Amino acid sequence: MGLKKATIIDGKEFSSRTNQSLLPYVELIVEKIGRPPALAVILVGEDAASLVYVRNKVKQTKDAGMVSIEHQLSAETSEKTLLSLIDTLNKDDQIDGILVQLPLPDHINENSIINAIKPSKDVDGFSIPNVGLLSTSVSGLIPCTPLGCLLLLKSYVGDLSGKSAVIIGRSNIVGKPMAQLLLNENCTVTIAHSKTKNIEAVCKEADILVAAVGRPNFVKSEWVKKGAVVIDVGINRLPPEGDKKGRLVGDVDFNSVSNVASAITPVPGGVGPMTIACLLRNTVTAACKRRNFNEPEM
């Protein structure tokens, strides 16, 4: 009997459809206010991965016909200087969204920075008011990566109601908001983490398994229920081989798990592109919300 391989969920293709769907909103905003939605991106220091992410975010924002304004600050920038820049951007009517790339240097308090961003411009959805809105099922701005995962899941699975969902990882950026979103979709939600006992058995119960731990090939095929849908949020670079840069792999052992799952996201080309698509979507949403225009729907 031949093994049926999982469907590969094409995040690249889906993200370009998501981007396309934003065009009419961008056009409408231009028509109404005379300029496209505008995103300010702040990068402090020169973390190599952050530089790549920010470059991608800026490029794609521009490709989508929106304004992207980049603020690249030195690693020595004080918290006070950063807060003052955020204050200026909060008050600037020409700016709809503000994103501060994380992680920040150790001398800057991440929480203070995140919560200094005006909630209506907080396109990452990390500030306390937006977290509160998500946890009370009211629509605010939703963190980009979990939103991207949800859009993929809704498109490939359809109705998620009653499904057993297990999320591995409890970060504020992915794990916790992902749990909240799936709970809002009527899933039965479990969050597994580094202290979870018998994590294999917990994962094996999942109809929907989301891995967001940051450990290469962590999830093995024996952990996965036959027919489960697996979403791999991890982006891990393996050690270099000879003179070649190490390969990018996810948190899921893709080759073995794709013999068990019914659908799986690849790395790269799965969740990654959806994160950026959802950043663009949140920028449009922020621009619409501020002015009571119709905003993109789920």
State which residue, 123 or 261, has the beta carbon closest to ligand GUN. 123
State which residue, 114 or 252, has the beta carbon closest to ligand GUN. 114
> Considering only residues 124, 185, 207, 232, which one is a binding residue for ligand GUN as defined by CB under 6 A?
124
Of the candidates 286, 297, 219, the one whose C-alpha atom is nearest the C-alpha of residue 251 is 219
Q: What is the DSSP letter of 262?
A: S
Of the candidates 231, 125, 227, the one whose C-alpha atom is nearest the C-alpha of residue 168 is 231
Q: To the nearest whole angstrom, how small is the minimum distance from the Cβ of residue 286 to ligand GUN?
A: 14
Tell me which stretch binds ligand GUN (CB under 6 A): 95-103, 104-112, 130-138, 147-155. 95-103
Strands (E), the chain: 7-8, 38-44, 67-73, 97-100, 164-168, 188-192, 208-211, 229-232, 236-237, 248-249, 263-264
120 binds ligand GUN (CB under 6 A): no
231 binds ligand GUN (CB under 6 A): no
Q: Which residues of 76-114 are buried (b: 16+ CB within 10 A; e: fewer)?
A: ebebeebeebbeebbeeeebbbbbbbbebbeebeeeebb
Of the candidates 154, 143, 95, 180, the one whose C-alpha atom is nearest the C-alpha of residue 281 is 143
- Please, are residues 144 and 173 in contact by the beta-carbon 8 Å criterion? no
Q: To the nearest whole angstrom, how small is the minimum distance from the Cβ of residue 221 to ligand GUN?
A: 28
Task: State yes or no: is 94 an active-site residue.
Answer: no
101 binds ligand GUN (CB under 6 A): yes
51 binds ligand GUN (CB under 6 A): no
Of the candidates 282, 283, 296, the one whose C-alpha atom is nearest the C-alpha of residue 146 is 282
Task: State yes or no: is 176 an active-site residue.
Answer: no
Sign of the C-alpha dihedral computed for residues 199, 202, 205 and 210 taken in this order: negative
Q: To the nearest whole angstrom, how small is the minimum distance from the Cβ of residue 104 to ligand GUN?
A: 9
Contacts (CB under 6 A) with ligand GUN, residues 126-155: 144-145
Q: To the nearest whole angstrom, how small is the minimum distance from the Cβ of residue 234 to ligand GUN?
A: 12
Task: State yes or no: is 124 an active-site residue.
Answer: yes
99 binds ligand GUN (CB under 6 A): yes
What is the spatial distance between Cα 236 and Cα 89, in angstroms, rounded to a whole number? 33
Tell me which stretch binds ligand GUN (CB under 6 A): 94-102, 177-185, 199-207, 216-224. 94-102
State which residue, 101 or 127, has the beta carbon closest to ligand GUN. 101
Q: Which residues bind ligand GUN (CB under 6 A)?
A: 99-102, 124, 144-145, 173
Active site residues: 57, 101, 124
